[in-house]
Amino acid sequence: MVRKAVFPVAGLGTRFLPATKSVPKEMLPLLDRPCFAYVVAEAVEAGITELVLVTARGKTSIEDYFDRSPALEASLEASGKLGLLEEVRAIARHAKIVSVRQQEARGLGHAVLTAAPAVGNEDFAVILPDDIVDGSPPAIGQLLAIQADYGGAVVALKEVPREHTNRYGICAGSWQRPDLMQIQRMVEKPKPEEAPSTSSIVGRYVLPGRIFEILEQTPPGRGGEIQLTDAIAVLAAEGSVRGLSFQGQHFDTGHPLGLLEASLYFALRRPDYAEGARALLARQQQQRDS
């Protein structure tokens, strides 16, 4: 059973500058919670009990968010805000948090390799915090179910326009069923005319512990970085990688418009925000029409 999930959170978040000069992009708000809280909730709902954060300088607020805050809790209790008090306390009960420091940015593969001492030789999940998925069951749980049946590695797949293939890792292979691909080939950010398919990897992976050995031998690839896709391709050549077209609504919150789209989506789905969100959208439409 997979118990651990690795969260690479060492990125600089340059698309959100100047905001991310002092605030990690993972802690930017999506309604009343940081973006990172959504992917942690997904992992915990899927049964993950240990969260391994691959961090960098300036990211301590992510760890602080999941720690107890006695002063805040005392203030909420004194003011009678018991609902908020319980919600704040519940954050610290999500799962065990372990942090490792990535000393230099050398690509996603290097970030995952940095987590090796905390993960050990067991199978584990990797969740990219920029990719928020509203799914039931949770997206990473869907991948874990496939991995439990077949073993090996499993990645999340999503169809993208061909002109956008140069933004993603692209997979090709044979479909075992309408939503499950036996992956035979993986290419990191290919030119549209060279892409073997339009099935892109979304930021969810379930990997065997031996991926660390492969990463240690993986030379820098595209962009001079150690690419996780290149290491998984070694497993694909052995026939032990599958791709799942997961069920759920996906948002790329790694850029401002993606975060805005996610904010609108979740606002319209929450009873405490939906009415106000619809009113705001209606006013905006009226202003555009006038």
Average pLDDT for 129-154: 94
Give residue for tokens 């140069």. Answer: 166
Whether residue 27 has pLDDT greater than 70: yes
pLDDT digits (tens, 9 = 90+) for 60-86: 888 877 777 777 778 877 887 777 667
Lowest mean pLDDT among 73-77, 85-89, 170-174, 197-201: 85-89
What pLDDT sits at residue 84? 66
pLDDT tier for residue 213 given thresholds of 50, 70 and 90:
very high
pLDDT digits (tens, 9 = 90+) for 214-248: 999 988 777 778 889 899 999 999 999 999 999 99
- In the CATH hierarchy, which fold is given to the domain comprising 4-278? Spore Coat Polysaccharide Biosynthesis Protein SpsA; Chain A (3.90.550)
pLDDT-above-90 percentage for the chain = 52
The residue among 149 and 75 whose pLDDT is bigger is 149
User: Helix 256-269 vs helix 271-289: angle between axes, to the nearest 10 degrees?
Assistant: 120
Mean pLDDT across the chain, nearest whole number? 88
What pLDDT sits at residue 85? 67
pTM strictly above 0.95: no
Whether residue 7 has pLDDT greater than 90: yes
pLDDT digits (tens, 9 = 90+) for 104-137: 778 899 999 999 999 999 999 999 999 999 999 9
Contacts of 214 (CB under 8 A, 6+ apart): 231, 234, 235
Lowest mean pLDDT among 54-58, 88-92, 159-163, 218-222: 88-92
What pLDDT sits at residue 122? 93
The residue among 32 and 52 whose pLDDT is bigger is 52
What pLDDT sits at residue 13? 79
What pLDDT sits at residue 271? 92
* Domain range annotation of the chain: 4-278
